[in-house]
Amino acid sequence: MILISKKNINNFDLYPKILNFIEFHYYSFSMKLIFSKFDPTKKIIMLYSIPDQNISSEIQVNLEKFYDYYSEENPERRLDHYDIGPYLSYIFKAESAWYPEEEEILMLSLYFEEHENTHFFRPIMEQTISNLKEILNLTKILYINTPHADNESFKIFGKVIRILTDCFFEASKLHSTYNLGLSEVLLLGDKGSGKTSIVDYLIHGKFVPQTSPTLTPQVFRLVYDKVDFRVLDICCEEHLKEVFEDHPLEPGKLPQAVVYVIDATQTEDELRKSVEEFNEWMKFLIKKYPKSVFDKLPFLILFNKSDLTPSFNFEKYKKLFSPKDFELNTQYAMSSVKTGEGLNENFSWVVNHIKVTEKY
């Protein structure tokens, strides 16, 4: 990592700004902005970070993995990003200031210690990289601790610090504005009812045909209405037990809402089996949650593919899928995963009823 003294940084009029920001905000936001380069012989080299502190070996190892992915997948790409877990990393190339025929590989990374809410920060990061790439001879800062360094190198480094500081300010403001937190939705229902397609529609805003059924538990990352979700798509009770006993995200945590999807195109025999299965799920779930929690749990029941059944009887289905022995905080609705009908407004109901980041 490049270190710069207070004496030098005063020339950039940034030292008071950085100190004040870290003093008042650092302990509120467990966030790091890391600027690094990739050297094929030395692996990753840290250039600058905010806050200016040691980067753990675990973070360095993960950042090296992003460089490895980039090199293995397509080294000719001009810009790439990796939005994985608590990391949002952008890799880009810049012409070498000393060897014009070569390019340096640089990476700007945003890291959160407590959450995986990186999706909202893409515009800020992309604008920051655009600003960095506009700096003439940007890569002179890579040699600021070598005999190559000159006055211009330090001036360029000052511009880089200013841009990175602004990025950190903007990201922190966004962090506090949205009060980000992870929230989870358990997705259950009939086989072939379109559960996975519903999630895909909410993510992509369009119908995405499914080529194969869900055979294993899946965790979808979904940003919806400014809330960062993990949707647990479960195909059978055996897999649900795995999720509750060995949670893929946080041991002991229970999902904060349930979306149950019914296939509205079923035959009468299939419908009877569907009702039996629904009641079995209810018995299973009520044992997992404290009663006071389960009574308030947002429970969205979607009758999907209802657009394919002109004679669909909403009131009949609603009565069939009403638990007999307890009350639920339930919303019933018809939906179509092909047109999107009934998805956004009803998923918004789920969002409004979830207490974000609350743990049971």
Q: Supply 79's token pair.
A: 């810009």
2 pLDDT band (50/70/90 cuts)? very low
How many Å apart are CA 127 and CA 148, to the nearest integer?
Answer: 29
Report pLDDT digits (tens) over 80-127. 878 777 888 999 999 988 787 888 889 999 998 755 557 678 899 999
* pLDDT at site 218: 61
Tell me, what's the pLDDT at 346? Answer: 87
Output the pLDDT for position 86: 80
User: Which of the four pLDDT bands, split at 50, 70 and 90, describes residue 248?
Assistant: very low
pLDDT of 8 strictly over 70? no
Average pLDDT over residues 173-198: 73
Neighbours of 225 (CB within 10 A): 12
Pinpoint the residues of the chain covered by CATH 3.40.50.300: 182-353
The CB density around residue 233, as the number of other CB atoms within 10 Å, is 21
Mean per-residue pLDDT, 284-295: 82
pLDDT at 171 over 60: yes
Match 């040699």 to its residue by tokens.
Answer: 143
More confident residue, 271 or 13: 271
Output the pLDDT for position 52: 78
Q: Which helix (H) or strand (E) holds 272?
A: helix 268-288
> In this structure, which topology does domain 182-353 adopt according to CATH?
Rossmann fold (3.40.50)
Q: How far apart are the first and last CA of the chain?
A: 42
- Rounded mean pLDDT, 273-287: 87
- For the cut 90, the answer to whether the pLDDT of residue 324 exceeds it is no
- pLDDT band with cut points at 50, 70 and 90 for residue 210: low
Residue with structure tokens 């419908």? 271
Rounded to whole angstroms, the Cα distance separating 238 from 338 reads 29
Is 285's pLDDT higher than 60?
Answer: yes
Is residue 180 over pLDDT 90?
no
Contact present, 109 and 33 (Cβ < 8 Å)? yes
Q: If you average pLDDT over residues 316-336, what whole number do you get?
A: 88
Query: What's the number of CA atoms in the CB half-sphere (13 Å) around residue 267?
Result: 2
Which residue shows structure tokens 């940034």? 14
Q: What is the pLDDT of residue 256?
A: 83
What pLDDT score was predicted for residue 29?
A: 47
pLDDT value for 116: 53
3-state DSSP of the chain: CCCCCHHHHHHHCCHHHHHHHHHHHCCCCCEEEEEEEEECCCEEEEEEEECCCCCCHHHHHHHHHHHHHHHHHCCCCCEEEEEECCEEEEEEEEECCCCCCCEEEEEEEEEECCCCCCHHHHHHHHHHHHHHHCCCCHHHHHHCCCCCCCHHHHHHHHHHHHHHHHHHHHHHHHHHHHCCCEEEEEEEECCCCCHHHHHHHHHHCCCCCCCCCCCCCEEEEEEECCEEEEEEECCCHHHHHHHHHCCCCCCCCCCCEEEEEEECCCCHHHHHHHHHHHHHHHHHHHHHCCHHHHCCCEEEEEEECHHHCCCCCHHHHHHHCCCCCCCCEEEEEEECCCCCCCCHHHHHHHHHHCCCCCCC
Amino acid at residue number 241 = K
Q: What pLDDT shows up at residue 344? A: 84
Average pLDDT over residues 302-319: 90
Length of the chain: 360
The more confident residue out of 356 and 166 is 166
For residue 303, the model assigns a pLDDT of 93
pLDDT of res. 308: 87
**The pLDDT of residue 77:** 59
pLDDT tens string 18-61: 333 333 333 344 789 999 998 877 778 889 999 877 788 888 88
By the 10 Å C-beta count (0-12 exposed, 13-18 middle, 19+ buried), 183 is classed as buried
Least confidently predicted of 86-100, 227-241, 327-341? 227-241
Average pLDDT of the chain, as a whole number: 76
Q: Is the pTM of this model over 0.85?
A: no
